[in-house]
Amino acid sequence: MKIFDLEQEILHCWNVTDDIKLLVSYFCDGPEFENMDPKLYDELMNKLFAVQELYDLKFNKLWNTFESVCGDYHRYRKIAESTEDWRVFGQ
């Protein structure tokens, strides 16, 4: 797998937070939920917002790790390019 492919997969997974926003919008704007008990509505929204925040935190941590790994990879690649080991490393 190429680093670019991994980056795209990470970004694609991050769409889960957009999916949660869509659910929030569905419940906020849907006429069938207008008469929902306010306590139930608040509980539902709080849980959806909590899950969204949790996944934002997880994906931010994942992204920071990915960037760190990419930085290490490029540093090691530069070192390897200057040695005979580049032939093995680059394969």
Provide the residue-wise pLDDT of the chain in tens; the chain has 91 residues. 688 888 999 999 989 999 999 999 999 999 999 899 999 999 999 999 999 999 999 999 999 999 999 999 888 888 888 876 556 555 5
Whole domain around residue 17: which residue ranges? 3-89
Give Cβ neighbours of residue 48 (< 8 Å, ≥ 6 apart).
Answer: 20, 23, 24, 27
Whether the predicted model's global pTM rises above the 0.75 cut: no
Distances (CA, A) of 48 to 53, 55, 57, 76, 79: 9, 11, 14, 42, 47
Q: How many CB atoms lie within 10 A of CB 20?
A: 19
Q: What is the domain count for the chain?
A: 1
Which pair of structure tokens corresponds to residue 79? Answer: 């070192």
